[in-house]
Structure 1
Amino acid sequence: MIKTDQRLLEAAAALLDAGGEGAVTIRAVAQAVGMSHNAPYKHFEDRSALLRAVAQQDFAALTHAFAEVRQLRVQPLLKLKQALTAFISYGQEHPARYRLLFSDPSIAAQGGAFEAAAIQPFLEIAAIVQECQDAHDLPDVSNVELTGLIYASVHGLIDLQAGGRMRQEKGLTGAAKGADLLIELLRPATV
């Protein structure tokens, strides 16, 4: 049987997916799981705490997805492309949750265990980038700076696509295609 707090998280995530952050109210979440409108307060202090829990759960899911890719027995560059594809797919399939994780200043201001959960997806990507660097598929520069550049660039591509701001005349036809081009441009030139 699913615990009540998990049912509340699932309902909040579904409401986010269906109607954006504005659709997530304590009353709507309670109604979605068949509880009284005050019952969720026994599990979450307020709406912000509920949204933080959804974000923390999704950071954990991204971490797990990237860790699974990292364990694949394929070339490091292919791992990186697969991890970025998973990142892009998450942004496309869950745009409101993606904005919650990566564009909400109140979420970014959290510390402690939440901050530790939020950094884990980045660290998994950094480990894959390091494998690519060790295989000489990416430049021998600071791993954290290179990972930051890749992570931020792909985030920008996801955001542009989600906002409907990609245009062929701007050279942007899709987040996945842009991420592939970025990785190809970062590859060291062969002599």
Structure 2
Amino acid sequence: MSTGASTTADRIVDAAARLLDEGGQAAVTLRAVATATDLSHNAPYKHFGGRDDLLGAVATRDLIQLAEQWRAVRGGSAVGRDRILDAVDVIVEFARDHPARYRLLFGAPDPVTQGEGLDAAAETALQAFVDIVVDGQREGSLPASPSDNLGIMLFATVHGLIGADAGGRLRSRTGWADIRAGMDFVIGLLRDRESS
């Protein structure tokens, strides 16, 4: 998820994201980022107050990009249940392709409590997901319930299935081919419950 960075700050965030992908949070130091970008050891401090601020910038950028991907799913050709499952695929693919960045965003939030725009980016990303939930409700693929609550519940379920899959417990216990199949099962249960 590179942005084609053009400023020094962008280059620093790109380098931090790469280091995070390669070695987890322990690999992200301002010194390592400076080395990776061929900058002086003090250069990152001109743009970021410290490591947590830099990790917050990585998280902010990733949230903005996730929101953009969900908007693209919403504007795509899929409808109903398929659109919801395509939205699920976005976070599943992010977790698979960038496990350390996924953990940064959704596992241990302390390092990302700092960073300009982080709260706004998180709210925007959640709203982009909830907008797809609202569409699913209008189309009859999801039950009529408070959309924010339903969106958060579905999002939490995705995270639980991601964790179960990463631990090797999902497929051996359920026979589901993948997380998408698990979420399809959950969506079906929700619809069945409302219909009964």
Which stretch shifts more, 121-130 or 91-100? 121-130
C-alpha contact (below 8 Å) 1:76/1:135 kept by paired residues: yes
What aligned pairs does 1:37-186 form with structure 2 within 5 A after superposition? Answer: 37-107=41-111, 109-110=113-114, 113-162=117-166, 164-171=167-174, 173=176, 174-186=178-190
Residue 109 of structure 1 and its aligned partner are, at CA, apart by 4.3
TM-score, length-normalised on structure 1? 0.90
2:57 is paired with a residue whose SS is helix
Q: 2:6 corresponds to which residue?
A: 2
Among 22, 32, 35, which residue is 1:31 paired with? 35
Report the count of equivalent residues: 190
Which stretch shifts more, 120-129 or 19-28? 120-129
What aligned pairs does 1:13-28 form with structure 2 within 5 A after superposition? Answer: 13-28=17-32
1:187 is paired with a residue whose SS is helix
How much is the aligned-residue C-alpha RMSD, in angstroms? 2.1
Distance 1:147 1:89 in 2: 19
Distance 1:115 1:31 in 2: 30
Which residue identity is paired with 2:38?
A: G
Sequence identity, in percent? 38
TM-score, length-normalised on structure 2? 0.88
Which stretch shifts more, 149-158 or 73-82? 73-82
